[in-house]
Protein backbone atom coordinates (compact mmCIF):
# COMPACT_ATOMS: atom_id res chain seq x y z
CA UNK A 1 0.00 0.00 0.00
CA UNK A 2 1.24 3.50 -0.82
CA UNK A 3 1.93 5.05 2.61
CA UNK A 4 1.00 8.48 1.25
CA UNK A 5 -2.56 7.33 0.54
CA UNK A 6 -5.27 7.52 3.13
CA UNK A 7 -6.46 4.06 4.14
CA UNK A 8 -10.17 3.53 4.83
CA UNK A 9 -11.85 0.33 5.99
CA UNK A 10 -14.29 -1.32 3.64
CA UNK A 11 -17.73 -0.12 4.87
CA UNK A 12 -15.91 2.61 6.76
CA UNK A 13 -16.19 6.31 6.02
CA UNK A 14 -13.88 8.71 4.25
CA UNK A 15 -14.51 12.40 4.84
CA UNK A 16 -13.00 15.12 2.67
CA UNK A 17 -13.18 18.79 3.65
CA UNK A 18 -13.25 21.59 1.09
CA UNK A 19 -13.07 25.31 1.83
CA UNK A 20 -15.22 27.62 -0.23
CA UNK A 21 -15.14 31.30 0.75
CA UNK A 22 -17.66 32.50 -1.83
CA UNK A 23 -20.57 34.39 -0.34
CA UNK A 24 -23.88 32.57 -0.87
CA UNK A 25 -27.25 33.89 0.19
CA UNK A 26 -28.24 30.37 1.28
CA UNK A 27 -25.35 27.87 1.14
CA UNK A 28 -27.73 24.97 1.87
CA UNK A 29 -29.60 25.65 -1.38
CA UNK A 30 -27.45 27.73 -3.71
CA UNK A 31 -24.60 25.33 -4.41
CA UNK A 32 -23.82 21.60 -4.27
CA UNK A 33 -20.47 19.94 -3.69
CA UNK A 34 -20.56 17.20 -6.34
CA UNK A 35 -18.45 14.06 -6.14
CA UNK A 36 -17.66 11.10 -8.39
CA UNK A 37 -16.08 8.04 -6.75
CA UNK A 38 -14.66 5.29 -8.97
CA UNK A 39 -14.16 1.88 -7.43
CA UNK A 40 -11.58 -0.82 -8.26
CA UNK A 41 -14.06 -2.44 -10.65
CA UNK A 42 -14.50 0.77 -12.64
CA UNK A 43 -18.01 1.53 -11.37
CA UNK A 44 -18.53 5.25 -10.73
CA UNK A 45 -20.77 6.42 -7.87
CA UNK A 46 -22.07 9.98 -8.07
CA UNK A 47 -22.60 11.50 -4.65
CA UNK A 48 -22.76 14.92 -3.06
CA UNK A 49 -21.42 16.70 -0.03
CA UNK A 50 -22.91 19.17 2.42
CA UNK A 51 -22.39 22.63 3.83
CA UNK A 52 -21.04 22.41 7.40
CA UNK A 53 -20.93 26.05 8.50
CA UNK A 54 -18.60 29.01 7.92
CA UNK A 55 -16.67 28.29 4.71
CA UNK A 56 -16.55 24.50 5.22
CA UNK A 57 -18.04 21.90 2.90
CA UNK A 58 -17.56 18.17 3.41
CA UNK A 59 -18.26 14.99 1.49
CA UNK A 60 -18.50 11.53 3.03
CA UNK A 61 -18.31 8.24 1.19
CA UNK A 62 -18.44 4.56 2.17
CA UNK A 63 -16.40 2.15 -0.01
CA UNK A 64 -18.01 -1.25 -0.50
CA UNK A 65 -15.00 -3.23 -1.72
CA UNK A 66 -11.25 -3.31 -1.10
CA UNK A 67 -8.78 -1.73 -3.48
CA UNK A 68 -7.91 1.64 -4.97
CA UNK A 69 -10.62 4.28 -5.22
CA UNK A 70 -10.33 7.54 -7.18
CA UNK A 71 -12.48 10.61 -6.73
CA UNK A 72 -13.16 14.00 -8.33
CA UNK A 73 -14.90 16.89 -6.58
CA UNK A 74 -16.35 20.13 -7.87
CA UNK A 75 -18.93 22.74 -6.90
CA UNK A 76 -22.05 22.96 -9.03
CA UNK A 77 -21.34 26.62 -9.88
CA UNK A 78 -17.94 25.76 -11.44
CA UNK A 79 -17.03 23.83 -14.57
CA UNK A 80 -13.74 22.23 -13.53
CA UNK A 81 -12.94 19.92 -10.60
CA UNK A 82 -11.44 21.62 -7.59
CA UNK A 83 -9.89 18.45 -6.23
CA UNK A 84 -9.12 14.92 -7.33
CA UNK A 85 -7.43 12.17 -5.40
CA UNK A 86 -7.36 8.57 -4.36
CA UNK A 87 -7.61 6.41 -1.27
CA UNK A 88 -7.24 2.72 -0.58
CA UNK A 89 -10.03 0.67 0.96
CA UNK A 90 -8.66 -2.11 3.13
CA UNK A 91 -10.27 -5.05 4.91
CA UNK A 92 -11.11 -4.28 8.54
CA UNK A 93 -13.41 -5.48 11.27
CA UNK A 94 -16.58 -3.67 10.18
CA UNK A 95 -18.97 -6.56 9.47
CA UNK A 96 -20.68 -4.79 6.56
CA UNK A 97 -23.81 -2.68 6.21
CA UNK A 98 -26.81 -3.72 8.24
CA UNK A 99 -29.00 -5.30 5.56
CA UNK A 100 -31.06 -8.31 4.66
CA UNK A 101 -28.83 -11.37 5.03
CA UNK A 102 -27.83 -12.18 1.42
CA UNK A 103 -28.01 -15.96 1.91
CA UNK A 104 -31.33 -15.92 3.80
CA UNK A 105 -33.05 -12.54 3.37
CA UNK A 106 -35.89 -13.18 5.82
CA UNK A 107 -33.32 -12.32 8.51
CA UNK A 108 -31.29 -9.21 9.17
CA UNK A 109 -27.57 -9.60 8.64
CA UNK A 110 -24.65 -7.81 7.07
CA UNK A 111 -23.96 -7.03 3.43
CA UNK A 112 -20.69 -8.95 3.75
CA UNK A 113 -22.73 -12.14 4.16
CA UNK A 114 -22.08 -12.45 7.89
CA UNK A 115 -25.12 -13.53 9.87
CA UNK A 116 -26.30 -12.13 13.16
CA UNK A 117 -29.34 -12.05 15.42
CA UNK A 118 -30.88 -8.59 15.73
CA UNK A 119 -31.35 -7.86 19.46
CA UNK A 120 -33.11 -4.50 19.72
CA UNK A 121 -34.10 -2.26 22.63
CA UNK A 122 -36.40 0.76 22.43
CA UNK A 123 -35.26 4.06 23.97
CA UNK A 124 -37.48 7.11 24.51
CA UNK A 125 -36.99 10.72 23.53
CA UNK A 126 -34.06 11.93 25.62
CA UNK A 127 -31.20 9.88 24.20
CA UNK A 128 -29.86 12.51 21.75
CA UNK A 129 -30.76 15.48 23.97
CA UNK A 130 -28.17 18.09 24.93
CA UNK A 131 -29.70 18.23 28.39
CA UNK A 132 -29.37 14.48 28.98
CA UNK A 133 -26.29 13.74 31.07
CA UNK A 134 -23.49 12.37 28.86
CA UNK A 135 -22.08 10.19 31.64
CA UNK A 136 -25.52 8.62 32.18
CA UNK A 137 -25.79 7.94 28.45
CA UNK A 138 -22.49 6.06 28.56
CA UNK A 139 -23.60 4.04 31.59
CA UNK A 140 -26.81 3.05 29.81
CA UNK A 141 -24.94 2.01 26.67
CA UNK A 142 -22.45 -0.02 28.69
CA UNK A 143 -25.33 -1.77 30.44
CA UNK A 144 -27.28 -2.49 27.25
CA UNK A 145 -24.24 -3.99 25.58
CA UNK A 146 -23.55 -6.13 28.65
CA UNK A 147 -27.08 -7.50 28.18
CA UNK A 148 -26.37 -8.39 24.55
CA UNK A 149 -28.44 -5.68 22.88
CA UNK A 150 -26.94 -4.78 19.49
CA UNK A 151 -29.62 -2.43 18.09
CA UNK A 152 -31.29 0.70 19.48
CA UNK A 153 -34.72 1.99 18.47
CA UNK A 154 -34.52 5.70 19.34
CA UNK A 155 -37.63 7.90 19.56
CA UNK A 156 -36.72 11.57 18.91
CA UNK A 157 -33.89 11.08 16.43
CA UNK A 158 -33.82 13.26 13.31
CA UNK A 159 -36.53 15.61 14.59
CA UNK A 160 -37.89 16.40 18.04
CA UNK A 161 -41.27 14.86 18.88
CA UNK A 162 -42.28 18.08 20.64
CA UNK A 163 -45.38 16.92 22.52
CA UNK A 164 -46.18 16.36 26.22
CA UNK A 165 -44.81 13.09 27.54
CA UNK A 166 -42.66 12.68 24.42
CA UNK A 167 -40.09 15.19 23.18
CA UNK A 168 -41.15 18.20 25.22
CA UNK A 169 -38.35 19.61 27.44
CA UNK A 170 -35.68 17.50 25.73
CA UNK A 171 -33.22 19.46 23.58
CA UNK A 172 -32.94 16.81 20.89
CA UNK A 173 -31.71 17.61 17.36
CA UNK A 174 -33.85 20.10 15.47
CA UNK A 175 -32.59 19.47 11.98
CA UNK A 176 -35.21 21.48 10.11
CA UNK A 177 -34.78 24.20 9.00
CA UNK A 178 -31.37 22.83 8.03
CA UNK A 179 -28.78 23.54 10.67
CA UNK A 180 -25.29 22.03 10.44
CA UNK A 181 -24.66 22.51 14.14
CA UNK A 182 -27.72 20.46 15.08
CA UNK A 183 -26.58 17.63 12.82
CA UNK A 184 -23.10 17.70 14.39
CA UNK A 185 -24.60 17.22 17.86
CA UNK A 186 -26.40 14.11 16.65
CA UNK A 187 -23.38 12.78 14.77
CA UNK A 188 -21.16 13.02 17.84
CA UNK A 189 -23.40 10.44 19.51
CA UNK A 190 -23.88 8.38 16.34
CA UNK A 191 -20.10 8.10 16.04
CA UNK A 192 -19.97 6.51 19.51
CA UNK A 193 -22.73 4.07 18.56
CA UNK A 194 -20.84 3.16 15.42
CA UNK A 195 -17.64 2.54 17.40
CA UNK A 196 -19.62 0.31 19.73
CA UNK A 197 -20.97 -1.62 16.71
CA UNK A 198 -24.55 -0.76 17.68
CA UNK A 199 -27.18 -0.57 14.94
CA UNK A 200 -29.73 2.26 15.02
CA UNK A 201 -33.41 2.34 14.08
CA UNK A 202 -34.95 5.87 13.97
CA UNK A 203 -38.37 5.32 15.55
CA UNK A 204 -39.89 8.48 14.05
CA UNK A 205 -37.93 8.32 10.81
CA UNK A 206 -37.16 11.20 8.46
CA UNK A 207 -40.65 12.63 9.03
CA UNK A 208 -41.81 12.26 12.62
CA UNK A 209 -45.31 12.63 13.99
CA UNK A 210 -45.75 15.99 15.79
CA UNK A 211 -42.30 17.15 14.70
CA UNK A 212 -41.29 20.18 12.67
CA UNK A 213 -40.67 18.44 9.37
CA UNK A 214 -40.87 20.19 5.96
CA UNK A 215 -44.21 20.00 4.17
CA UNK A 216 -43.27 21.46 0.79
CA UNK A 217 -42.02 18.76 -1.65
CA UNK A 218 -38.96 20.82 -2.68
CA UNK A 219 -38.05 21.36 0.95
CA UNK A 220 -38.60 17.67 1.66
CA UNK A 221 -36.16 16.69 -1.08
CA UNK A 222 -33.60 19.23 0.15
CA UNK A 223 -33.92 17.85 3.69
CA UNK A 224 -33.60 14.23 2.51
CA UNK A 225 -30.58 15.05 0.34
CA UNK A 226 -28.82 16.92 3.13
CA UNK A 227 -29.55 14.18 5.69
CA UNK A 228 -28.33 11.47 3.32
CA UNK A 229 -25.18 13.47 2.57
CA UNK A 230 -24.36 13.48 6.28
CA UNK A 231 -25.63 10.05 7.34
CA UNK A 232 -25.55 7.92 4.19
CA UNK A 233 -22.01 6.72 4.83
CA UNK A 234 -22.87 5.16 8.20
CA UNK A 235 -22.97 1.35 7.83
CA UNK A 236 -24.98 0.82 11.05
CA UNK A 237 -28.11 2.88 10.27
CA UNK A 238 -31.54 1.57 9.28
CA UNK A 239 -33.81 4.07 7.53
CA UNK A 240 -37.48 4.74 8.24
CA UNK A 241 -39.60 7.09 6.11
CA UNK A 242 -42.00 8.22 8.83
CA UNK A 243 -43.39 7.30 12.19
CA UNK A 244 -45.02 6.43 14.31
CA UNK A 245 -48.14 5.43 12.35
CA UNK A 246 -48.21 8.08 9.60
CA UNK A 247 -51.56 6.85 8.24
CA UNK A 248 -53.24 5.26 11.23
CA UNK A 249 -56.92 4.51 11.65
CA UNK A 250 -57.50 7.29 14.17
CA UNK A 251 -54.82 9.87 13.33
CA UNK A 252 -53.83 10.31 9.69
CA UNK A 253 -51.01 12.84 9.65
CA UNK A 254 -49.43 11.65 6.39
CA UNK A 255 -51.38 9.84 3.71
CA UNK A 256 -50.32 6.64 1.97
CA UNK A 257 -49.59 8.45 -1.31
CA UNK A 258 -47.14 10.81 0.41
CA UNK A 259 -45.47 7.98 2.32
CA UNK A 260 -45.06 6.14 -0.97
CA UNK A 261 -43.70 9.22 -2.77
CA UNK A 262 -41.17 9.92 -0.02
CA UNK A 263 -40.16 6.27 0.20
CA UNK A 264 -39.47 6.11 -3.53
CA UNK A 265 -37.52 9.38 -3.33
CA UNK A 266 -35.31 8.18 -0.48
CA UNK A 267 -34.67 4.90 -2.27
CA UNK A 268 -33.73 6.75 -5.47
CA UNK A 269 -31.31 9.11 -3.73
CA UNK A 270 -29.61 6.61 -1.42
CA UNK A 271 -26.78 5.07 -3.46
CA UNK A 272 -25.72 2.96 -0.46
CA UNK A 273 -29.08 1.13 -0.36
CA UNK A 274 -29.75 1.29 3.37
CA UNK A 275 -32.59 -0.72 4.81
CA UNK A 276 -35.73 1.36 4.25
CA UNK A 277 -39.30 0.94 5.53
CA UNK A 278 -42.06 2.86 7.34
CA UNK A 279 -43.37 2.58 10.91
CA UNK A 280 -46.83 1.03 10.58
CA UNK A 281 -49.73 1.19 12.96
CA UNK A 282 -51.03 -1.89 14.74
CA UNK A 283 -52.36 -4.27 12.11
CA UNK A 284 -51.22 -5.48 8.73
CA UNK A 285 -48.30 -3.96 6.83
CA UNK A 286 -49.74 -2.18 3.80
CA UNK A 287 -46.21 -1.55 2.47
CA UNK A 288 -45.18 -5.21 2.58
CA UNK A 289 -44.93 -5.43 -1.21
CA UNK A 290 -43.86 -1.85 -1.92
CA UNK A 291 -40.91 -1.71 -4.30
CA UNK A 292 -39.03 0.74 -2.09
CA UNK A 293 -39.24 -1.21 1.20
CA UNK A 294 -36.52 -3.74 1.83
CA UNK A 295 -37.61 -4.66 5.34
CA UNK A 296 -40.93 -4.65 7.16
CA UNK A 297 -41.92 -2.91 10.40
CA UNK A 298 -44.82 -4.40 12.34
CA UNK A 299 -46.50 -2.96 15.41
CA UNK A 300 -48.22 -5.89 17.03
CA UNK A 301 -50.17 -7.95 17.47
CA UNK A 302 -49.97 -7.07 21.15
CA UNK A 303 -51.28 -10.37 22.47
CA UNK A 304 -50.55 -13.36 24.66
CA UNK A 305 -52.42 -15.60 22.23
CA UNK A 306 -49.36 -17.28 20.74
CA UNK A 307 -51.31 -18.85 17.86
CA UNK A 308 -52.60 -15.44 16.82
CA UNK A 309 -49.12 -13.99 17.20
CA UNK A 310 -47.71 -16.70 14.95
CA UNK A 311 -50.38 -16.26 12.28
CA UNK A 312 -50.19 -12.45 12.09
CA UNK A 313 -46.40 -12.39 11.95
CA UNK A 314 -46.43 -15.11 9.31
CA UNK A 315 -49.02 -13.23 7.24
CA UNK A 316 -47.01 -9.99 7.30
CA UNK A 317 -43.55 -11.40 6.65
CA UNK A 318 -42.40 -10.87 3.07
CA UNK A 319 -40.15 -13.86 2.50
CA UNK A 320 -37.56 -11.81 0.62
CA UNK A 321 -37.36 -9.09 3.31
CA UNK A 322 -36.57 -9.13 7.04
CA UNK A 323 -39.31 -8.20 9.51
CA UNK A 324 -38.78 -5.90 12.51
CA UNK A 325 -41.32 -6.68 15.27
CA UNK A 326 -41.00 -3.16 16.62
CA UNK A 327 -43.89 -2.66 19.06
CA UNK A 328 -44.83 -6.27 19.51
CA UNK A 329 -43.48 -6.94 23.02
CA UNK A 330 -43.22 -3.80 25.14
CA UNK A 331 -43.65 -4.64 28.81
CA UNK A 332 -45.13 -2.08 31.19
CA UNK A 333 -46.91 -0.15 28.43
CA UNK A 334 -50.68 0.22 28.98
CA UNK A 335 -51.28 0.37 25.23
CA UNK A 336 -49.84 -3.15 25.14
CA UNK A 337 -51.64 -4.43 28.24
CA UNK A 338 -53.56 -7.67 27.99
CA UNK A 339 -57.20 -8.20 28.93
CA UNK A 340 -57.46 -10.31 32.04
CA UNK A 341 -60.08 -12.96 32.78
CA UNK A 342 -61.74 -10.48 35.12
CA UNK A 343 -62.12 -7.95 32.32
CA UNK A 344 -59.36 -5.59 33.46
CA UNK A 345 -55.88 -5.10 32.11
CA UNK A 346 -52.61 -6.70 33.11
CA UNK A 347 -49.02 -6.51 31.96
CA UNK A 348 -47.16 -9.38 30.33
CA UNK A 349 -46.11 -11.99 32.87
CA UNK A 350 -42.55 -13.31 32.91
CA UNK A 351 -43.78 -16.45 31.17
CA UNK A 352 -45.55 -14.32 28.54
CA UNK A 353 -42.35 -12.39 27.84
CA UNK A 354 -40.33 -15.57 27.39
CA UNK A 355 -42.95 -17.29 25.25
CA UNK A 356 -43.69 -14.26 23.06
CA UNK A 357 -39.98 -13.59 22.56
CA UNK A 358 -39.48 -17.18 21.42
CA UNK A 359 -42.56 -17.13 19.17
CA UNK A 360 -41.53 -13.86 17.50
CA UNK A 361 -38.10 -15.23 16.66
CA UNK A 362 -39.45 -18.63 15.62
CA UNK A 363 -41.57 -16.87 12.98
CA UNK A 364 -38.39 -15.34 11.56
CA UNK A 365 -39.03 -11.83 12.89
CA UNK A 366 -36.57 -9.66 14.83
CA UNK A 367 -37.71 -8.54 18.28
CA UNK A 368 -37.49 -5.00 19.66
CA UNK A 369 -38.02 -5.05 23.45
CA UNK A 370 -39.02 -2.14 25.70
CA UNK A 371 -39.09 -1.70 29.48
CA UNK A 372 -41.83 0.89 30.11
CA UNK A 373 -43.90 2.13 33.02
CA UNK A 374 -46.55 3.91 31.00
CA UNK A 375 -46.03 5.19 27.46
CA UNK A 376 -42.96 4.67 25.29
CA UNK A 377 -41.08 7.51 27.01
CA UNK A 378 -41.57 6.22 30.56
CA UNK A 379 -39.97 3.52 32.67
CA UNK A 380 -36.39 2.51 32.07
CA UNK A 381 -36.83 2.82 28.29
CA UNK A 382 -37.93 6.42 28.76
CA UNK A 383 -36.02 7.67 31.80
CA UNK A 384 -32.81 5.72 31.08
CA UNK A 385 -32.28 5.48 34.83
CA UNK A 386 -30.62 2.15 35.55
CA UNK A 387 -32.33 2.01 38.93
CA UNK A 388 -35.66 1.74 37.12
CA UNK A 389 -34.80 -1.29 35.02
CA UNK A 390 -36.59 -4.57 35.71
CA UNK A 391 -33.51 -6.74 35.54
CA UNK A 392 -35.24 -10.11 35.65
CA UNK A 393 -37.16 -9.23 32.48
CA UNK A 394 -34.02 -8.19 30.63
CA UNK A 395 -32.42 -11.46 31.75
CA UNK A 396 -35.35 -13.43 30.30
CA UNK A 397 -34.97 -11.69 26.94
CA UNK A 398 -31.20 -12.20 27.03
CA UNK A 399 -31.61 -15.90 27.79
CA UNK A 400 -33.91 -16.37 24.80
CA UNK A 401 -31.56 -14.50 22.47
CA UNK A 402 -28.44 -16.26 23.76
CA UNK A 403 -30.04 -19.63 23.05
CA UNK A 404 -31.21 -18.67 19.57
CA UNK A 405 -27.90 -17.06 18.69
CA UNK A 406 -26.13 -20.24 19.79
CA UNK A 407 -28.34 -22.12 17.32
CA UNK A 408 -27.46 -19.63 14.54
CA UNK A 409 -31.12 -19.38 13.63
CA UNK A 410 -30.33 -16.99 10.75
CA UNK A 411 -29.34 -20.13 8.83
CA UNK A 412 -32.89 -21.47 9.21
CA UNK A 413 -36.31 -20.69 7.77
CA UNK A 414 -39.79 -20.91 9.30
CA UNK A 415 -41.55 -24.14 8.36
CA UNK A 416 -45.18 -24.19 9.42
CA UNK A 417 -46.03 -27.74 8.37
CA UNK A 418 -43.33 -29.58 10.33
CA UNK A 419 -45.35 -30.19 13.51
CA UNK A 420 -49.14 -30.06 13.60
CA UNK A 421 -51.67 -30.55 16.36
CA UNK A 422 -55.38 -31.08 15.92
CA UNK A 423 -57.61 -28.91 18.11
CA UNK A 424 -61.40 -28.87 18.48
CA UNK A 425 -62.93 -25.91 16.67
CA UNK A 426 -66.43 -26.52 18.01
CA UNK A 427 -69.47 -28.40 16.70
CA UNK A 428 -67.39 -31.46 16.02
CA UNK A 429 -65.13 -29.70 13.56
CA UNK A 430 -61.38 -29.91 13.81
CA UNK A 431 -58.71 -27.41 12.80
CA UNK A 432 -54.95 -27.68 12.50
CA UNK A 433 -52.72 -25.55 14.67
CA UNK A 434 -49.14 -25.18 13.51
CA UNK A 435 -46.25 -25.38 15.88
CA UNK A 436 -43.71 -22.67 15.19
CA UNK A 437 -40.74 -24.37 13.59
CA UNK A 438 -37.44 -23.47 11.96
CA UNK A 439 -35.59 -25.67 9.49
CA UNK A 440 -32.11 -25.58 7.96
CA UNK A 441 -31.92 -27.41 4.62
CA UNK A 442 -33.41 -30.61 6.07
CA UNK A 443 -30.34 -30.90 8.32
CA UNK A 444 -31.59 -29.27 11.50
CA UNK A 445 -35.07 -28.49 12.79
CA UNK A 446 -36.30 -26.61 15.86
CA UNK A 447 -39.99 -26.91 16.88
CA UNK A 448 -41.44 -24.71 19.61
CA UNK A 449 -44.21 -26.16 21.78
CA UNK A 450 -45.37 -22.96 23.48
CA UNK A 451 -47.96 -24.76 25.61
CA UNK A 452 -46.40 -28.21 25.83
CA UNK A 453 -48.55 -31.03 24.51
CA UNK A 454 -47.96 -33.24 21.50
CA UNK A 455 -47.83 -33.13 17.71
CA UNK A 456 -47.49 -35.23 14.59
CA UNK A 457 -44.28 -34.60 12.68
CA UNK A 458 -44.17 -34.10 8.92
CA UNK A 459 -40.44 -34.26 8.25
CA UNK A 460 -38.58 -34.25 4.92
CA UNK A 461 -39.37 -37.51 3.16
CA UNK A 462 -37.06 -40.34 4.14
CA UNK A 463 -35.31 -38.28 6.78
CA UNK A 464 -34.19 -39.75 10.07
CA UNK A 465 -33.35 -37.43 12.93
CA UNK A 466 -31.89 -37.54 16.38
CA UNK A 467 -34.21 -35.70 18.74
CA UNK A 468 -33.58 -33.70 21.87
CA UNK A 469 -36.06 -31.86 24.09
CA UNK A 470 -34.92 -28.46 25.41
CA UNK A 471 -36.71 -26.95 28.39
CA UNK A 472 -37.59 -23.38 27.34
CA UNK A 473 -37.57 -22.28 30.98
CA UNK A 474 -33.99 -23.49 31.36
CA UNK A 475 -32.22 -23.94 28.03
CA UNK A 476 -29.45 -25.97 29.68
CA UNK A 477 -31.97 -28.67 30.68
CA UNK A 478 -32.13 -31.35 27.95
CA UNK A 479 -33.99 -34.65 27.53
CA UNK A 480 -33.12 -37.25 24.91
CA UNK A 481 -35.98 -37.72 22.42
CA UNK A 482 -34.41 -40.66 20.58
CA UNK A 483 -34.70 -41.38 16.87
CA UNK A 484 -37.51 -39.50 15.10
CA UNK A 485 -39.02 -39.94 11.61
CA UNK A 486 -41.87 -38.39 9.67
CA UNK A 487 -45.31 -39.40 10.90
CA UNK A 488 -44.08 -39.94 14.45
CA UNK A 489 -46.10 -38.58 17.31
CA UNK A 490 -43.98 -36.66 19.80
CA UNK A 491 -45.02 -35.73 23.33
CA UNK A 492 -43.36 -33.11 25.51
CA UNK A 493 -41.67 -34.47 28.64
CA UNK A 494 -43.55 -34.33 31.91
CA UNK A 495 -42.96 -31.24 34.00
CA UNK A 496 -41.88 -27.88 32.68
CA UNK A 497 -44.12 -25.70 30.56
CA UNK A 498 -42.97 -24.86 27.02
CA UNK A 499 -40.44 -27.02 25.20
CA UNK A 500 -38.28 -26.91 22.08
CA UNK A 501 -37.72 -30.07 20.08
CA UNK A 502 -34.35 -30.04 18.33
CA UNK A 503 -33.92 -32.50 15.47
CA UNK A 504 -30.58 -33.16 13.81
CA UNK A 505 -30.44 -35.30 10.67
CA UNK A 506 -28.67 -38.60 11.13
CA UNK A 507 -25.83 -39.26 8.72
pLDDT at position 2: 42
Average pLDDT over the chain, rounded to an integer: 93
**What's the pLDDT tens digit per position in 390-418?**
999 999 999 999 999 999 999 999 998 89
Nearest of 222, 215, 182 to residue 27 by alpha carbon: 222
Res. 433 pLDDT band, cuts 50 70 90 = confident
| Domain extent listing, the chain | 6-90, 117-407, 415-505
pLDDT of 336 higher than 90: no
Contact criterion met (CB below 8 Å) for 327 and 357 = no
Find all residues with CB under 8 Å of 438, minimum gap 6, and list them.
362, 364, 409, 412, 413, 414, 415, 445, 446
Nearest of 218, 265, 264, 207 to residue 240 by alpha carbon: 207
**What's the pLDDT tens digit per position in 170-193?**
999 889 999 999 999 999 999 999
Calculate mean pLDDT across residues 498-507: 94
The answer regarding whether domain 117-407 maps to CATH 3.20.20.80 reads yes
**What's the pLDDT tens digit per position in 44-94?**
999 999 999 999 999 999 999 999 999 999 999 998 889 999 999 999 999
CATH class of this structure's domain 6-90: mainly beta
pTM of the model as a whole: 0.95
Whether 6-90 shares its CATH topology with 415-505 is answered yes
What topology does CATH give the domain 415-505?
Answer: Immunoglobulin-like (2.60.40)
Res. 338 pLDDT band, cuts 50 70 90 = low
Query: Cα–Cα distance between 203 and 240 in angstroms, integer?
Result: 7
Res. 469 pLDDT band, cuts 50 70 90 = very high
pLDDT at position 32: 97
Amino acid sequence: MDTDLQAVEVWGRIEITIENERAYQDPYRDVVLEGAFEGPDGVVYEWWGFYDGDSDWRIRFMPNEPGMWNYRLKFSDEETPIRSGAFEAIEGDIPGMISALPSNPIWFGYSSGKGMLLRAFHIGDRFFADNFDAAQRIQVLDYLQSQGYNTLSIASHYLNRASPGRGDSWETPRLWPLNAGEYRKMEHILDDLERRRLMVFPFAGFFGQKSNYPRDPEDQELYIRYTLARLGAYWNLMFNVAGPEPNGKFIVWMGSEEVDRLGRLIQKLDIFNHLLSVHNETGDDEYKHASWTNYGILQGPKTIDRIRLLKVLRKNHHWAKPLFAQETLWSGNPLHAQKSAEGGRRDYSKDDIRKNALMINFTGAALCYADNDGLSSTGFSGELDLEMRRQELHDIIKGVWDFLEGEEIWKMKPAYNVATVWGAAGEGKDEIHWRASLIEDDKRILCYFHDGGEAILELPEGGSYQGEWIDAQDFSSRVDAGRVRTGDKVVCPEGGDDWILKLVAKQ
